[in-house]
Structures are given as C-alpha cells and as structure tokens.
Amino acid sequence: MNPILLAVIIVSAIGLIAGIGLAIASIVMAVPVDKKAEEIREILPGANCGACGYSGCDGYASALSKGDETNTTLCLPGGDEASAEIARITGLAAGTVQPMAAVVRCQGIKRNCSTKLKYSGVRSCKMAAQLFGGPKECTYGCIGYGDCVEVCPYNAIHICDGVARINPLLCRACKMCVNSCPKNLIAMMPLHETKAEVLCVNKNKGSQTRKECRTGCIGCMKCVKVCEYDAIKVENFVAYVDYEKCTGCGKCVEGCPVGCVKLITLENNER
C-alpha cells in the first residue's frame, strides 16, 4: 500500500478512536449545567468579593437559581442594575441597593499618634499587629502597612501619612478590606448622604487614650448629650453613630473636644 496513504489512515484511525471514546465519556460523565445560574453569573461583576455572604459570584448565582436565596439585593458592587437583572431572570422581586462605601475609622497620622517601637519585620498589618499590637502607641489604630491596599480589587485604598485612606470614587463596597483589617477599623457608610462618623475605635479609658493619640475618642459623652436624635452612643469609652437615626446636623462635631467626630459626605457619580 502507498506509505503516505497508510500514514493518513493510521493517524485518522487513532483520532477517530480517541474522538469516539471522548464522546462516550462526555455523555456518561456529563455534569448537569445550571443554565439559570450561568446567566446570573454573567450579570454579576465577577469580583468574587464575597460581599453577598457567599463564597463568590458563582456561589451567589447558584443559590439564587436553586431558590435557596430570594434576596436579589445582596450584590453591593453590582448595585441596582444587578438586582433588576437578577429579578428579571429569576422572577424574584427587585430591590434597591443602598450604595455604600468603606471608611477607615482612624486619624492616627504620624502627627497625632507616635510610634512606640521600631518594626522591621514583614510589611503586613496582620504580622505587625502580633507584636505588642503594632508599632503605634495606639493598639486600636491603623498600622498603615496596607493589608487593605493589597486586597482591594479596585485600587481604591492608599496609605497617606501612615493611615489607610479609601477613595469613595473608586470604592465598590465589596468589603474585601473590611475582612483584611486586623484591627477591624473599616466601616461601610451610605453614599450621597451626610452622616456623622466617629473616626476612632480606641476602647481604652479617656486618660489612656489621650496619651496614645491626639484625636482619640475619650468617651466624654459630650456628643451624646448634644445629639437631639439619640443617634450617637458611647460604649466601652468610644462613641458609635447609628446612621439610620443620624441626620447630619453636625452638633456632635462642634461638641467634640478632641475632634474625632467628623461629618462625612461620600460622593460617587457613578453609583
């Protein structure tokens, strides 16, 4: 037989056998694909941030399509648009997503909060926090080695003068930074609304806080007394604001002797 013809026959025969084998295998071991889940997955932003409480976009999509989850507003980065699209596919009710952005609750810049030790280990907040609570005098404040900068998928966080700062124009409220902070300093605040916020989480007594940081909350209760809406509370020597009650009148800001309460209006034109 012609050797070229034989070569062609051998190669195509092997190819055919392999092809048939694979076809049989793919039928025998077919994995059922969830069409609805794939469609929902296409709409979600794909950042896999976990803001919805699931392991990632895939997890949320499959929970929605199976009917385990009926809340369409859990995707914060996707916002209203994603909610409406999910509602269209699943037939569930669409909702409005309160647009949020992250804020670092610390003002411990170098001028306000001095350092107590010279740290020369791995540049990671988690590592540094294990050594006497970090290099700064205040063991509650921002360490400033940028664990949150590393995890932010939108490049919205920068370290300015030793403290992390989040750009609300870039923040998509995925909460990755919230989980990365060993000091639990990052809070989510509503966008487009003026709210008071206490930029300190120091739970030490006032006299101790005063020694550690010039703008630390000393728990003096002045803000609680001036607030007409009962929106600010002091627990463990540090004040907290209830955003639902806060109207942004600014009385607490005037009353604060250390300047740790600030009126914040986060703006983001895109959301």
Partner 1 sequence: MSLAAILVTAIFTQNFILSKFLGICPFLGVSKKLNTATGMSLAVIFVMVLSTAVTYPINLLLKANDMEYLQTIVFILVIAALVQLVEIVLKKYIPSLYNSLGIYLPLITTNCAVLGVVLLNIDNGYNFIQSMFNSLGAGLGFLLAMVMFAGVRERLESCKVPKFLEGLPITLVAASLVSLSFLGFAGLVEGIFG
Interacting residue ranges for partner 1, rule: CB under 8 A: 3, 6-7, 10-11, 14-15, 18-19, 21-22, 25-26, 29-31, 122-124, 127
Q: Considering the complex, what minimum distance in angstroms separates the CB of residue 20 from partner 1?
A: 10
Nearer to partner 1, 54 or 237 (CB): 54
Nearer to partner 1, 33 or 269 (CB): 33
Q: Considering the complex, what minimum distance in angstroms separates the CB of residue 114 from partner 1?
A: 25
Q: Considering the complex, what minimum distance in angstroms separates the CB of residue 12 from partner 1?
A: 10
Nearer to partner 1, 18 or 117 (CB): 18
Q: Considering the complex, what minimum distance in angstroms separates the CB of residue 137 from partner 1?
A: 25
Question: What size, in residues, is the chain?
Answer: 271
d(CA 167, CA 158): 8
Q: Under 8 Å CB-to-CB from 222, ≥6 apart: which residues?
A: 252, 255, 256, 257
Nearer to partner 1, 54 or 140 (CB): 54
Task: Name the DSSP letter for residue 92.
Answer: P
Task: Name the DSSP letter for residue 113.
Answer: S
Nearer to partner 1, 124 or 139 (CB): 124
Q: Under 8 Å CB-to-CB from 137, ≥6 apart: which residues?
A: 113, 114, 115, 116, 211, 212, 213
- Name the CA dihedral angle for 156, 161, 163, 165, rounded to a multiple of 10 degrees: -30
Asked whether the beta carbons of 129 and 149 are under 8 A apart, the reply is no
**Backbone dihedral angles phi then psi of residue 26, each to the nearest 5 degrees:** -70, -25
Nearer to partner 1, 30 or 228 (CB): 30
d(CA 270, CA 145): 29
Q: Considering the complex, what minimum distance in angstroms separates the CB of residue 143 from partner 1?
A: 16
Q: Considering the complex, what minimum distance in angstroms separates the CB of residue 159 from partner 1?
A: 16
Q: Considering the complex, what minimum distance in angstroms separates the CB of residue 41 from partner 1?
A: 13
Q: Considering the complex, what minimum distance in angstroms separates the CB of residue 6 from partner 1?
A: 6
Nearer to partner 1, 42 or 230 (CB): 42
Asked whether the beta carbons of 78 and 51 are under 8 A apart, the reply is no
Distances from the Cα of 232 to the Cαs of 27, 227, 228, 243, 256, in angstroms? Answer: 63, 7, 9, 9, 12
Asked whether the beta carbons of 40 and 64 are under 8 A apart, the reply is yes
Nearer to partner 1, 55 or 236 (CB): 55
Task: Name the DSSP letter for residue 115.
Answer: B
